[in-house]
A and B are shown apart, each in its own frame.
Chain A
């Protein structure tokens, strides 16, 4: 298993590393489908599009330790698009923050795993999210504290593209560049869909790249499902001086399950029994393909 400890402890050949991360992403996608099927509610589309970046952060890039979730020197990840909670929960469980068995109880009464992330109750969750638009501001606070305390940690925050309709995002975007938060990296899950339809029809976002760069951010645009590109972008972001970086992840909503891909109907609707079985079968096939079986 890939290390969830401090830094890259496994000296894997690059191809081997990418393969492991891709296989981990499939595992997380399977968790997501199982969790949402069991919970009979939740958001498959935006959870699946976010998987590869979050997997790369936790299983490769970030310095963190599941046994010490409150370590003052840890890198932080904030899921501003809180409805992708299943992805984060599955990743945290696989990292060892809590028992994988908990995942099956998502959204149940008397269960730790709430419909949206909540801090101080779930190990590894940094911020309570679910009301969109807050996470970047929160991340700014964490990044400012890091500067103040002369800590080396980095702060990563994932935003939904639809989420950037919120005005607070742009308040925070201005503040992050004003305070030269080079220890802050945003990851924009640019899957082009939000509940009411295409982001460009609901409230035009383009040109996303120009928006962020005009706010003083370093902007990198990549394929958000290409692990190698994600790794390279994260390294580039960490080395930036004097400004925050926004990595625009060009993604596919529902990625990994053919009938959910680019299908807005699966924004907030869980799979039924047939869809569940089909989805798991597709993911099994994907896994075998990656394993070269």
Chain B
């Protein structure tokens, strides 16, 4: 059965338009990428509340904070690489330290950016945002979850960061699902008791494919969709560690500082002895290429995850 695809970026743009109607104090800023981030949908509907900042991301972030200080819910968008690393100091001072109601929604995260190459493949953003006090960090797995997360971002006060990829992604949830999604509460997408695969963002779908591969060999994998990386669902991680004995994390991000790190911190501090591996980019820059080829070369395909799972369970 072929998968139904939808682009999380479009889901973001559509949700912004809906929220714009509901919240007259919601404003959106972009840095000359509104066609790509899909904030253009909001810009067309609410031109007065959309601020085109040009190719000047630092100014965009601090301006978003200034708007927030006057009671606005500020959404600022650009590619993940420019939305975090390039403006780290602005986010640190004006958003995190100031506990400002600014929501950074980044697109084009991870290596699935593809042909643009390593300059545009942001694999450090989750680490950078996770380390900031006050910052909440999301990596939604599909268009549906993106909608729900963006809604939560608008309604709950405080600094937040979310990243999605460039490409269309298979729908994991139906359009009206996840009404009760909670910040910091992971979703057990599929159950199993041999191994837990804790994934975020695009990797949740890969984890589901992995599960199918493993089931052919009699291995039952549990798939956790950890949409919130900070605050992370500690209870769920510990539950999985207890119930499945082996655990993998999968993220389209460096294995340093992201989901894998967050999970391993929990396991280490609790003295959990479960077998554990972090799947992600292994402390290197990648290259230009088709996303599927990149996932294969850099060890993120379902085949690779399944292989690692089997090794772990030996």
Contact = CB atoms under 8 A, between A and B. Distances in A.
Given A128-B97, A175-B53, A144 B67 contact: yes
Contact of B63 (A130, A141, A146, A149): A141
B72 A118 contact: no
B118 to A, nearest CB: 24
Contact of A171 (B51, B58, B89): B58
Contacts of B69: 119, 126-127, 138, 141-142, 145
A131 interface: yes
Nearest to B92: A131
A113 interface: no
A269 interface: no
A140 interface: yes
B302 interface: no
A139 interface: yes
A129 B93 contact: yes
A172 B49 CA distance: 18
A148 interface: yes
A127 B70 CA distance: 11
Contacts, number: 104
B94 interface: yes
Residue from B54, B65, B70, B99 with most neighbouring chain A CB atoms (10 Å): B70
Contacts of B238: none
A145 B70 CA distance: 6
B59 interface: yes
Nearest to A173: B59
Contacts of A167: 58
B66 A127 contact: yes
A70 B69 CA distance: 10
Given A141-B69, A148-B48, A148-B49, A175 B62 contact: no
A134 B62 contact: yes
Given A127-B69, A149-B70, A171-B56, A141 B64 contact: yes
Interface string B83-121: 000000110111001110000000000000000000000
A164 interface: no
A142 B97 CA distance: 18
Interface residues of A, number: 33
Contacts of A178: 54
A101 to B, nearest CB: 26
B98 A168 contact: no
Interface string A105-130: 00000000000001110000011111
A137 B59 contact: yes
A100 interface: no
A126 B69 CA distance: 8
A213 B65 CA distance: 26
Nearest to B49: A148
A127 B90 CA distance: 12
Given A128-B94, A129-B93, A175 B70 contact: no
A174 B97 contact: no
B98 A120 contact: yes
Nearest to A147: B48
Given A134-B94, A137-B61, A138-B69, 13 more contacts: A72-B70, A118-B98, A128-B94, A135-B62, A138-B63, A140-B63, A141-B62, A141-B66, A142-B69, A145-B67, A168-B58, A171-B59, A175-B63
Closest 7 CB pairs of A and B: A141-B66, A137-B62, A145-B70, A171-B59, A171-B56, A138-B66, A141-B63
Interface of A: 72, 118-120, 126-131, 133-135, 137-146, 148-149, 167-168, 171-172, 174-175, 178-179
6 contacts: A127-B98, A134-B94, A141-B69, A167-B58, A168-B58, A168-B59
Interface of B: 27, 48-49, 51, 53-54, 56, 58-72, 74, 89-90, 92-94, 97-99
